[in-house]
Chains A and B, each alone.
Chain A
């Protein structure tokens, strides 16, 4: 495994008076797949959102390629998420007015690609996730599993350096979840991207090279993660 691509140190985050993260350290190497697990309310989603620059940590640093992105402006972090990061949530969050292929092409268009080139790349990614035949469908006409595959294609279409996935299989049945994870892991390995994955399921965490277990907003070195 190569050197650290993303290093978070001493990350804290509170919602009002409620602490969600109490000083967490995370290192993600280039090409590494890391699962963040732990019981409900342990802070795993909050940590992922801080690492991806969606939330700003109260304290600590999040260093991506030698720069502390926690200090960056909202606009800069948003640009980073469009170019070098890919984000996937539990419920795909596709744009309902756009077709599947338009949804997947969107990040490329925002990054300045031509319409034709973006469309072709989007179709290729839909194919990898087994939903190319739904290219012209809008999300409303698709099942939850199909929408999630499109969302995964959209997260990967820019070939990001790091993909952040928050309970990506949480809304899927077992087979759909596994097929999506397999397609995602193969793509990540091929591109030598990194993947940071939040899940509460051991069978999904098993797709990762390494697991970080959180408990009450801090890393639990015993790896047990049972509520204290």
Chain B
């Protein structure tokens, strides 16, 4: 996910300062890693340099002085372009998970690979259960539900792959021991 584009999107509703953007981001993407302040200001700096946002005012009602930023026409155009671009359908299989399974199969015995796959499956199932509980909680808002759906969909795909891999490893084991 591109932080710059997400910030442009959050500014589409009107001017906001950095602290406000960070909070809005963390609220809208509860399953994502919270944005660091440093990242927000660094990104705003780049967006300003490229003419996609401009400083729109100072706000010093309470606490420290804050600079608000607003979207420029060019920024709006860039956001619209991003929203119409189809993302390359890259495989989700996170590097670590996929690499570990392949390495486990190559470098260690079938038993160890099976042990790892089984433990990984259990961890995936547990996480899926937690995310499902977030969705079914009375009063869950659409943001929570949509974010949980996204994570569950990907975990589900991982699980199918883990299950298929386990079945393949089991077949392999039969051949080896036959």
Interface set of A (CB-CB < 8 Å, partner B): 178, 181-182, 185-186, 202-203, 205-209, 211, 222-228
Contact B128 A185 (CB under 8 A): no
- Chain B residues closer than 8 Å to A222, beta-carbon distance: 118
Contact A206 B152 (CB under 8 A): yes
Q: A202-B156, A203-B128, A208-B129 given as contacts; is B136 within 8 A of A223 (CB)?
A: no
A182 to B121, CA, bound (A): 24
- Chain B residues closer than 8 Å to A203, beta-carbon distance: 128, 132, 152-153, 156
- Chain A residues closer than 8 Å to B153, beta-carbon distance: 203
Contact A226 B163 (CB under 8 A): yes
Known: A181-B136, A224-B163. 15 other contacts (CB 8 A): A178-B135, A182-B135, A182-B136, A186-B138, A202-B159, A203-B156, A205-B125, A206-B129, A206-B152, A207-B129, A207-B136, A211-B125, A223-B125, A225-B163, A228-B170
B167 at the interface (CB under 8 A from A): yes
Interface of A is mostly: loop
For this complex, 21 residue pairs linking A to B, each with C-beta atoms less than 8 Å apart, are A181-B136, A182-B136, A185-B136, A202-B128, A202-B160, A203-B128, A203-B132, A203-B152, A203-B156, A205-B125, A206-B125, A206-B131, A206-B132, A207-B129, A207-B136, A208-B129, A211-B125, A223-B122, A225-B163, A226-B166, A226-B167
- The 8 Å CB contact of A207, one of B118, B132, B156, B163, is B132
Contact A206 B118 (CB under 8 A): no
A226 to B167, CA, bound (A): 6
- Chain A residues closer than 8 Å to B129, beta-carbon distance: 206-209
A187 to B159, CA, bound (A): 28
- The 8 Å CB contact of B121, one of A181, A223, A227, is A223
The 9 closest A-B pairs by CB, nearest first: A206-B128, A206-B132, A226-B167, A206-B129, A185-B136, A182-B136, A202-B159, A203-B156, A224-B166
- Chain B residues closer than 8 Å to A181, beta-carbon distance: 136
- Chain A residues closer than 8 Å to B170, beta-carbon distance: 226, 228
- Chain A residues closer than 8 Å to B138, beta-carbon distance: 186
| Chain B nearest Cβ from A212, distance in angstroms | 12
Contact A186 B163 (CB under 8 A): no
> What 1/0 mask marks residues of chain B from 143 to 165 whose CB sits below 8 Å from any chain A CB?
00000010011001001100100
A205 to B128, CA, bound (A): 9
| Chain B nearest Cβ from A116, distance in angstroms | 29
| Chain A nearest Cβ from B115, distance in angstroms | 10
Interface residues of B in 64-122 (CB under 8 A from A): 118, 121-122
A181 to B101, CA, bound (A): 33
A208 to B128, CA, bound (A): 10
| Chain A nearest Cβ from B101, distance in angstroms | 14
- Chain B residues closer than 8 Å to A185, beta-carbon distance: 136
A206 to B122, CA, bound (A): 12
A227 to B170, CA, bound (A): 10
A209 to B128, CA, bound (A): 11
A93 to B152, CA, bound (A): 30
A207 to B148, CA, bound (A): 13
Q: A202-B156, A207-B136 given as contacts; is B167 within 8 A of A227 (CB)?
A: yes
| Chain A nearest Cβ from B174, distance in angstroms | 10
- The 8 Å CB contact of B118, one of A178, A208, A223, is A223
| Chain B nearest Cβ from A158, distance in angstroms | 22
A202 to B159, CA, bound (A): 8
Closest to B153 in A: A203
- Chain B residues closer than 8 Å to A208, beta-carbon distance: 129
| Chain B nearest Cβ from A21, distance in angstroms | 22
Closest to A175 in B: B149
